[in-house]
Structure 1
Amino acid sequence: MTDRETTGGALDGTAPRTALVFPGQGAQKAGMGQTWRDTASWGLVAEVSEYSGIDVEELLLKTDDETLRRTDLAQIAVFTTEVLAHREAEAAGLLGDVVACAGHSLGEYTALHAAGALPLADTARLVAARGRAMRACAERSPGTMAAVVRLGPETVEALVTQVQEDGGQVWIANVNAPGAIVLSGTAEAVDRLAELALENEGKVIRLAVGGAFHSPLMASAADDVREALAAVHFAAEHLPVVANVDARPYASGEHWRELELNQLTSPVRWEESVRTLADDLGCTRFVELGPGRQLTGMIRRIAKGALTVPVESAAALAKLAAPEAPEAPEAPENPETSGTPEPR
């Protein structure tokens, strides 16, 4: 194992260029706040509850998995655990030389907060408003999502076009990693594409989600989110955040209202975003902050040789922050399952 593989830095010993990344809805699970309950940052939970109007402590400690699938509750719960992980990792000195941030769908809001683009109060209000708007829109325009595996992007695009030409409503919603594409659409259109995928030796895995997120079926959510975005103040300058909609880095608050509105109905270009972080911004170390390790699995398939540091719990953080604790690459993940739980 080389020095770069164990430290994430260059062979000359310079500090690795670090990207902070934050997962999206789908990473939630019952009791996920318990690991952070005894940390110094736990008081942030009460703050987020006040700003959002939701009892977040109840969500993080007592709410069951089925209830946490509700879009508005899942989003504020995941966001809060990401803020806790970020604050604790920062206090422990684990973040290092951070040069950029990115988040998968919902996680983009936490990335904006971590980058200094938004204060906590405004970010929590936005996340709460976004969750409510997306839930209401999904009830008006029912849909679903599904992961496609074992098929290349060109084949998936061709199958989507075929279903659309037959009148079906289905779109590519996430391009997460090589071989990991997520679709959004009506249940009937997704079922039809699943049939076509089997004929092409592919496989479609339906996801337990509440709507066809990141597709035109989310268009009616834009009005409510637009109003919430108009009420917050973005910093004129902040650490670069790579946007989901075009995989470009932005370091000015003037762009984010439009970007977040577009994100509702546009695909998440996560694979391309990671390449921007690694190739264009020179990041060799990726710190994932929040529940689960889904982004870590994706990143290891995209940025070969990059160091991934998942901070999913206080125990994991303590282990990483211990004196002389090595940061080493993890084993590769199953390409059929890695990347599928992060639809929004």
Structure 2
Amino acid sequence: MTDIGTTGTAAGDEPPRTALVFPGQGAQKAGMGQAWRDTASWPLVAEISEHTGTDVEELLLKADDETLRRTDLAQIAVFTTEVLAHREAEAAGLLGEVVACAGHSLGEYTALYAAGAVPLAETARLVAARGRAMRACAERSPGTMAAVVRLGPEVVRTLVARVQEDGGQVWIANVNAPGAIVVSGTAEAVDRLAGLAVESEGKVIRLAVGGAFHSPLMAAAADELREALAAVRFAAAHTPVVANTDARPYASGEHWRDLELSQLTSPVRWEECVRTLAGELGCVRFVELGPGRQLTGMIRRIVDGALTVPVESAAALAKLTAPEPR
């Protein structure tokens, strides 16, 4: 379980099969753009601002944590930093032999961009539309999310079913890694599940999110996003992207409208996505592009011996690509 720079090979060896992975909403923090402010890719911020109708530079450099908790703004901010990280890592020659991409929730949109499935302008507009739809839906159908740790998926499914049998609206929203599951639903139902989890020797951590994401309570958001997705030109062929909803790799654009609509109301099967990348697609090196190292930690828990390359800042990238001392 190693953080590794460049390509991780000795001279003459085959380059390792690499997956690019992108984190989702929740990775944002105040001042997150400072890490990329002095890079050659920074003008992309103005470009994304134009496409989204949002002052992204203001978001990345001056917005406080409270502002960045707003769903639509958080998604644009995280997406932009991921695009910057991808462009800079590509220019530095860090990416290597990329055989597949994947992203966690929002990060799936950056994965589609990096895979060549959607141009930057259309991806940015789609991210903005998604954020607006999710925020509006959450205001109409309030909800919350919570992480359930120290319990396996079968136990959590049983507890969810118990709450549902009593009329509670709660569902599994993310299966992130062994013992790391997130539930989503109304505040009352999540509280009831939290009590049951503690009785089963689990632990529940409430998440500071703006709604019950990846649950049926987001159905109205899917309806609103449908029109925006219909206007997008997906590439006929692209680098495979492993989808959140079914953990299957897709290399053609024909599937993504339905997959992204389903993603809003279905669980993110991240653990299975990583197993598909490592198993079926043979990826041994995982480059995480964006703020924080959340996915790196999950991947290490899922794949024994995974080579992980977190790229969260220009400084980290410079360190990863610096020539080795002789």
Note the 1:59-208 alignment, pairs <5 A: 59-208=59-208
**CA distance in structure 1 between the partners assigned to 2:118 and 2:44 by the alignment:** 15
**Post-superposition offset of 1:10:** 9.3
Alignment of 1:235-246 (within 5 A): 235-246=235-246
2:23 alignment counterpart: 23
Is 2:40 aligned against 1:40?
Answer: yes
Give 1:5 shift: 11
Matched residue type, 1:48:
I
Distance in 2, matches of 1:312 and 1:214, equals 26
CA RMSD of aligned residues (A): 1.7
AA paired with 1:250?
Answer: Y
Shift of 1:324: 2.5
C-alpha contact (below 8 Å) 2:71/2:131 kept by paired residues: yes
- Secondary structure of 1:63's aligned partner: coil
Change (3 A) 1:210 1:163: same
Q: What secondary structure, in the 3-state scheme, does the structure 1 residue paired with 2:197 have? A: helix
Cα deviation for residue 97 of structure 1 reads 0.3
1:256 aligns with: 256
Contact 1:7 1:307 in 2 (8 A): no
8 Å CA contact 2:171–2:183 kept in 1: the answer is yes
State whether residues 159 and 193 of structure 2, in contact with CA within 8 Å, keep that contact through their aligned partners in structure 1.
yes
* Alignment-mate amino acid for residue 276 of structure 2: T
Contact 2:6 2:321 in 1 (8 A): no
CA gap of 1:195–1:129, structure 2 versus 1, over 3 A, is same
8 Å contact from structure 1 (residues 177, 301) kept in 2? yes
How far did 1:224 drift? 1.6
Paired letter, 1:187: A
- Give the Cα–Cα distance (whole angstroms) in 1 for the partners of residues 104 and 5 of structure 2: 25
Q: How far apart are residue 211 of structure 1 and its match?
A: 0.2
Q: Are 2:225 and 1:225 aligned? A: yes
One-letter code aligned to 1:158: T
Inter-partner Cα distance in structure 2 for 1:201 and 1:67: 35
Residue by residue over 1:231-262, the C-alpha shift from the partner in whole angstroms, topping out at 9 and shown as x without a partner, is 11000000000000000000000000000000
* Contact preservation (8 Å) 1:9, 1:284: no
1:284 is aligned to: 284
Note if contact 2:6-2:94 (Cα within 8 Å) is conserved in structure 1. no
Opposite residue 244 of structure 2, the aligned amino acid is: N
